[in-house]
Amino acid sequence: MNRYIGFDVIKFLKESRGWEEEKKKLQEELDSITEIQGKDNSPVRSRRINDTVSSVAAARERIQNDIDRIEYYEHALDFAMRYITEAEKEVIELFFFGRGYISARVDKFSFEHAICRSDVYSLRRQAIDHLSRIITRRFL
Give the rounded distance of the alpha carbon of 88 from its chain centre.
19
> Once rounded to an integer, what is the mean pLDDT over residues 111-116?
94
Backbone CA torsion sign across 109, 81, 16, 6 = positive
The verdict on pTM exceeding 0.75 is yes
Answer whether 127's CB lies under 8 Å from 92's CB: yes
- Give Cα separations from 90 to 84, 101, 107 (angstroms): 10, 16, 14
Q: Say which residue, 47 or 64, is predicted with more confidence.
A: 64
Query: Which tops the pLDDT comparison, 20 or 49?
Result: 20
What are the structural domain ranges in the chain?
Answer: 2-139
Residue 52 has pLDDT above 50, yes or no: yes
How confident is the model at residue 114, as a pLDDT?
Answer: 94
For residue 5, which amino acid is it? Answer: I
**Among 82, 71, 97, CA closest to 131:** 82
